[in-house]
Amino acid sequence: MKNMTKRELVVRIADETGLIQQDVFSVIQKTMDYIIEALVKGDTIEFRNFGVFEVKQRKSRIGRNPMKPTQTVTIPARKVVKFKPGRIMKKLITGI
């Protein structure tokens, strides 16, 4: 399994579209900046047929210290970003 970097994405899009890599990089970076900005405000980001990004609040809970299993630890409440893939993405990945 290979991880795709932002740089590899920029090069691929630039090669396929004939656009300048710096322009492609700027568009990708600005897109990611706006997605983060919206998530910070608590907005949901939806890309049809791709998926939905949203911020969820996790409740505080009790956990155990792995080094001392008898010791309980309070894990504080926090916000997490969740991604739910769209129908088409899910179908392509799972084959279902």
Domain that holds residue 67: 6-94
Inside any domain, residue 53:
yes
Instruction: Provide the pLDDT for residue 37.
Output: 96
> What are the average pLDDT values for consecutive 10-residue runs of the chain, which has 96 residues?
92 96 97 96 93 95 86 92 93 87
Furthest-apart CA atoms within the chain: distance in Å: 61
Domains identified in the chain, total number: 1
69: domain CATH number is 4.10.520.10
Inside any domain, residue 1:
no
Inside any domain, residue 41:
yes
Separation of alpha carbons 87 and 96, rounded Å:
10
- CA-to-CA separations, 31 to 35, 45, 85, in angstroms, rounded: 6, 12, 18
